[in-house]
Structure 1
Amino acid sequence: MAENNFPNNGKGSSHHRYLKLISGASSGFGKQLSVRLVDRGYNVVISDMNDKAGKELESLLNKKRPNSAYYLHCDVTKKQDQEALIKQAVQKYGKLDVMVNNAGIGENIEFTKNVADNWVKVMDIDLTAVILGTRLAIDQFRKQKSGGVVVSTASLAGLYPVPQQPVYAAAKAGVVNFTKSFAHFKKENIRVNCVCPGFVKTGITSGNAQEIMGIKEWIPIEKVIDAFVLGIEDESLGGDVIRITTQYGIDLPFNKKYKSRL
């Protein structure tokens, strides 16, 4: 980036020039990350399919700091929507600094009983849209000649087998290896990372997930947001997978040189 010194001094920092574009932002990780980033002094463009919730979040964030947030409707499976999202975000705030590919869905039907082939939608949103968003963000970073950061939401399901949700696991494994394949982009000052949370109570987590998945302990959502911020702000990371578990907290299982400070 032109000035690649992201704020790291917490709430009240004054780096309003940094624009973060977050998909799937009306709830869960996206909503909490938006709040955290505005508190840290960032401007954010938030997108979702739920316009009511998105507008409510926009209003909440702008009450915290005027003109810090802008909501746009976006279906991440449509290229024209993602292209328009980036174009309007840049028109609003001048340039794009960080793209967060966060939109996602889970499986709620056993794979062999899924006669409607709903698994295709899981792949479209959880993997294909991430690939598309990353490509469009990199194109914009290169156009700006400023560098930039992409952080995508993966999952522990992308690192280990999940018999209950095999398609979701396949999509998230795709995000993990897609991310790792961009380590060499650091030479262009473009960093691509992903976060792999364990079980967190969000809207995507079904009411009976704890029983079905045998969940013994939930990860605090604040810890996951810490991991997102790490992926955004730590300039040493690129092509990295940030894992969040109840056992180890935040760590980077594929980066042997990195010593976690969290």
Structure 2
Amino acid sequence: MKIDGKVAIVTGASSGFGRALAWRLAGKGAKVVLGDISDAAGTALEKEINAKYPGQAIFRVCDVTSKADQQRLFEAAKTKWGSIDIVVNNAGIGESKQFDKDEEDIWVKVLRIDLEAVIIGTRLALTEMIAAGKGGVIVNTASLAGLYPQWNQPVYAAAKGGVVHFTRSVGEFAKRHGIHINAICPGFSPTGILVSAEKTLGPLFMKATQDRVPVEQVIDAFIMSIEDDTLYGQSIRITKQLGIDLYKWRSAKSSL
């Protein structure tokens, strides 16, 4: 899909991949609805983007675990610009406690934000795009943790694995309606989630996360997912060793 002139929704837009992607989309001529739970950070980003690209960004407070909040992003896009072409379900968090010490079950919030909210956003996007009848793009932020086990973030890995397999499963259905949906699976990258995990899990985790990928390279993968209309249900992997590539799954017909 050509990005110039299209309308995009990005959740988790005020920091990390969301912020960088919002800037890249605006720079390519897209109109961007910024969704984030932080009112101050989101409002500031809206002003910053519009200062450089006048009229190309609006911000709405959004708790992605709230279906009503997510619906408001879609309504804002339609009211302001009349359509929705690109939806990026990006908001996410990591585990704030080591799993065996999480007696308060904080891990439940990880599942709600990292998986349940992605499913909500994807369903809303499919409904809107199918009704509009002109196709579209959905991008779900997963992680390398969704492809490989992560001893230090097991619930995060479970959530991101869910995003990967949900996206793969929805891919063929979406394709029938001219909608392409893909999952972005970056390795460790210097975002707020990584910094938070380092504080929580300490030196052993930091030692395991030295092979990092630049945020801008991850954004290149997002853009590839949006612009390449041949990609459906793919897991786009970003690693220091291989750069950007499509993760190769065994055929579903392969013997176990």
| TM score, norm. by length of structure 1 | 0.90
Map 1:101-112 onto structure 2 (within 5 A). 101-112=89-100
Which of 62, 77, 83 is the equivalent residue of 1:95?
Answer: 83
The answer on 1:236 being equivalent to 2:233 is no
> 1:163 corresponds to which residue?
151
Give unpaired runs (5+ residues) of structure 1.
8-14, 257-262
Give unpaired runs (5+ residues) of structure 2.
251-256
Aligned length in residues: 244
CA RMSD of superposed structures (Å) = 1.4
The answer on 1:188 being equivalent to 2:177 is yes
Could you tell me whether the CA contact under 8 Å between 1:119 and 1:167 is conserved in 2?
A: yes
Could you tell me whether the CA contact under 8 Å between 2:133 and 2:177 is conserved in 1?
A: no
Tell me the distance in 1 between the aligned counterparts of 2:27 and 2:132: 26
The answer on 1:48 being equivalent to 2:36 is yes
Could you tell me whether the CA contact under 8 Å between 1:201 and 1:221 is conserved in 2?
A: yes
Could you tell me whether the CA contact under 8 Å between 1:182 and 1:238 is conserved in 2?
A: no
1:26 Cα deviation after fit = 0.4
> 2:71 corresponds to which residue?
83
The worse-fitting range, judged by mean Cα deviation, of 246-255 and 149-158 is: 246-255
Tell me the distance in 1 between the aligned counterparts of 2:171 and 2:13: 26
1:255 Cα deviation after fit = 7.1
Specify the code of the residue in structure 1 equivalent to 2:203: E
SS at match of 1:218: coil
| TM score, norm. by length of structure 2 | 0.92
Map 1:59-78 onto structure 2 (within 5 A). 59-78=47-66
Map 1:178-257 onto structure 2 (within 5 A). 178-184=166-172, 185-205=174-194, 206=196, 207-208=198-199, 211-213=203-205, 214-254=208-248
Runs of 4+ in 1 over 6 A off after TM superposition: none
Tell me the distance in 2 between the aligned counterparts of 1:183 and 1:189: 10
Tell me the distance in 1 between the aligned counterparts of 2:202 and 2:84: 38
The answer on 1:6 being equivalent to 2:15 is no
SS at match of 1:21: strand
1:47 Cα deviation after fit = 0.6
Identity of aligned residues (%): 49
